[in-house]
Structure 1
Amino acid sequence: MGFKRNGKGRCGMNLKEQTYVCVLAECGNITKAADRLYISQPALSIYINNLEKSLGTKLFERAGKRFVLTPAGELYVEKARKMLELKKEFDEAMAEIRDNKRGKIRVGVQLRRETWLLPPVLFKFASEYPGIEVVIREGNMWEISQMLERYELDLVLMNSASVRKDMEYQVLFEEELLIAVPQIHPLNEKAVYVEGSRYRNLDLNWLEGENLILQNPNQSIRADVDAALKDAGVHPGKIQVIRNIETAIQMTAEGLGISFNRESYAGNMKYRKKVNYYTMGESPRKTAFVAGYRQGMFVPEYMQRFIELISEQGKEYIFS
């Protein structure tokens, strides 16, 4: 068994040997078999003779013009027919994959993102590509990056700052990094309106000496916050570390300190007490959220559509 290239430049299983023997067994006559196979009678006869020599046994007894299967021939045809049926299934499955009717996408995503981002996307995608399976793997940024590296994922949804050099990516949307301030706090008076912005602006320098509630150093939002504070030359007061961003925001709502949030996260957090969100400084911090995959990986049509749907959902959610 091998592979042959068809007229469209695609490779398919080549079971010529099995096909020739099975057709001859069905016809019982080499002339009829040659006609059905669109080859000459001498060519088919030579092919069968050479095959029998290579196997070291006869597949057919010649009774006049009739070809009758030997015990070895019966065994061969039994197995060959199963192989031909598998080939048929293989060809049909390959056609479905080529036509984007069948496939699988393994997607890695952070827990915080998936709750608002994926359900609408999965619904729309299933209606467009019902034969494509989407497998969701959850984890933090490091975990899903490692799964991609081990070929356990096809696609990771991540912040652009976490993209490695051996990855390619497509930008899905951009979002603001926001300052969260208790509703009753002197800093609210320092915020200024910015024309065309959904948020008022709070200069980071006003955070000098303020108590902050931040995430762990290995979390992407913490890296973004640290970079912003460093660029502004801000030295905060006490820093309390809380891994869960929503808990940090709720602590801010209770007046326990200043925290930070991503724009997309903010719209998905519900708490009986509210916080005020502000952009930071003259140059607001924007983060690109991307779909990353291994460098040089072929992106099927259905995967590209999945990426587009995520982008559409993200933009709609943030800016609605």
Structure 2
Amino acid sequence: MDLKEQKYVCTLAECKSLTRASERLYISQPALSLYINNVEKILGARLFERNGRKFELTWLGKQYVEKASQMLELERQFEAVRRQTDREDAGQVRIGIAQRRGIWFLPAVLSVYEREWPQVDVVIREGNLADLTIMLKNRELDLVVLSQSDVTSEMEAVPLGMEDFLLILPGDHPLNEKAVPVEGSKFDFLDPHLLSGETIFLNTEMQSARRVEEKILKDYKVKPGRVRVVRNMELGAQLVAEGLGVGFIRQGYQKNIHYPKPVKYYTIDISRYGQDVVVAYRRDVELTKPMRAMIMQMKDAAEEYLKL
């Protein structure tokens, strides 16, 4: 910001002398005098009364100095922020994440990050995949948490971990008897072929989970008796718990769903339907130090969030 005019007037008002003011400003007396005269000419009013060599503020001059002093203080505050940002220990990190994933993932991330980076303003934007992709493209976001399969050619991605995609059934559903254990997994396997004829809850077409759900149904040639669409996976799980159908859920979501009536979770094939969760950013953007620190904290938190 160029506030030379305000600085010159305020300095002269404080010094009341061209000599002292010009010395403080490192300019000649004639140059300062000419500058002040030009300011008054532009304003069409006098800011100073000249009493010999002494400069006294007029009433209008006092009003000018009051406002100009506020402007100079704001400039000093902004400059302090700018210098701090240049040192990369301040600034802003804007994160985009799906609402349900954000609820269970971000608190663990931010509880540590904001203690270590108190000068950084963390902005959280929640939305579906389409919204988040557009916001990143328009430079409205710095980082986006999404699935690897949703990363575009304009993005660079850092892996956070593998998230299984689970089948969910009511606790008393007869098909639970057909589940078989899977070595190395806490989830049993249930053959999706058995779901034909069932009412199945699916996500909306705008959600990335819908593509996984449709792939499972296609691969296993499942013919639902009825399809019901819900946007919220947690709602879908509760409807399943009430015996209204079966559905699917991301592994990270199921860990934090608590509902009085029991449900059963089953793995299908993590190698085929599991999702690599990543944090992505624009390929043409150089990461700041706070952004790199946020990615590292996300990686640490993901180990617990995606733990099998």
TM over 0.5: yes
Q: Residue 89 of structure 1 corresponds to which residue in structure 2? A: 77
Report matched runs for 1:180-259 at 5 Å: 180=168, 191=180, 193-194=182-183, 199=187, 206-207=193-194, 209=196, 211=198, 213-218=200-205, 219-230=207-218, 232=219, 234-243=221-230, 244-246=232-234, 248-249=236-237, 259=247
Match of 1:177 in 2: 165
CA shift, 1:19, in A, is 1.4
Say if 2:203 and 2:233, in contact at 8 Å, map to a contact too. no
Corresponding position of 1:277: 266
Flag structure 2 segments of 5+ consecutive residues without an equivalent.
none
Greater CA drift, 122-131 or 138-147:
138-147
Matched-pair contact (CA < 8 Å) for 2:164–2:267 = no
Contact 2:195/2:224 (<8 A) preserved: yes
- Are 1:316 and 2:304 matched, yes or no? yes
Q: Which moved more, 1:67-76 or 1:283-292?
A: 67-76
CA drift of 1:311 comes to: 3.0
Q: How far 1:75 sits from its partner (Å)?
A: 4.3
- 2:273 and 2:215 map into 1 onto residues whose CA distance is 10
- How far off is 1:98 after superposition? 4.3
- Residues in 1 aligned to 2:175 and 2:65: alpha-carbon distance in whole angstroms: 87
Aligned equivalent of 1:7: none
- 1:213 is matched by which residue type in structure 2? I
| Secondary structure at the counterpart of residue 91 of structure 1 | helix
Asked whether the 8 Å contact 2:198–2:245 carries over to 1, the reply is: yes
Pairing partner for 1:123 from 103, 108, 111: 111
Q: Is the 8 A contact 1:158 1:290 kept in 2?
A: yes
Matched, 1:80 2:68: yes
TM-superposed CA distance for 1:215, in Å, is 0.9
After the TM superposition, which residues 131-170 of structure 1 pair with which residues of structure 2 at under 5 Å, given as runs? 131-142=119-130, 155-163=143-151, 170=158
Deviations 1:16-39 (A, max 9, x none): 222122222222222222221223
Aligned pair 1:287/2:270, yes or no?
no
Q: Distance in 1 between matches of 2:265 and 2:54?
A: 91
Alpha-carbon contact 1:25-1:67 (below 8 Å) kept: yes
SS for the counterpart of 1:269 is coil
Shift of 1:262: 1.6
Shift of 1:134: 4.0
Asked if 1 retains the 8 angstrom alpha-carbon contact of 2:95 and 2:143, the reply is yes
Contact 2:96 2:125 in 1 (8 A): yes
Q: Which has the higher contact order (CA 8 A, sep 6+)?
A: 2
State the distance in 2 between where 1:178 and 1:154 align.
30
Given that residues 178 and 190 in structure 2 are in contact (C-alpha distance below 8 angstroms), is that contact kept between their aligned partners in structure 1?
A: no
- Per-residue CA distance 1:158-198 (angstroms, 9 max, x = gap): 3344456666654433312233467775686574645x555
Can you give the 5+ residue segments of structure 1 that lack an aligned partner in the other structure? Answer: 1-12
Shift in Å, 1:100: 5.7
Kindly state the Cα deviation for residue 264 of structure 1 after the two structures are TM-superposed: 1.1
* Residue number in structure 1 paired with 2:255: 267
Q: Once the 2 structures are TM-superposed, how far is the Cα of residue 82 of structure 1 from its aligned partner?
A: 2.7
CA distance in 2, matches of 1:248, 1:37: 70
Q: CA RMSD in A?
A: 4.0
SS at match of 2:306: helix
Code of the residue aligned with 1:211 in structure 2: it is E
- In 2, the alpha carbon distance for the partners of 1:69 and 1:237 equals 85
Q: What is the aligned residue count?
A: 304
Deviations 1:266-295 (CA, angstroms, capped at 9, x unpaired): 3223455342422328x4322133445667
Measured after TM superposition, the shift of residue 265 of structure 1 is 1.8
Given that 1:249 and 1:275 are in contact with CA atoms closer than 8 Å, whether structure 2 keeps it comes out as: no
Give the AA of the match of 1:273.
P
CA distance in 1, matches of 2:74, 2:246: 64
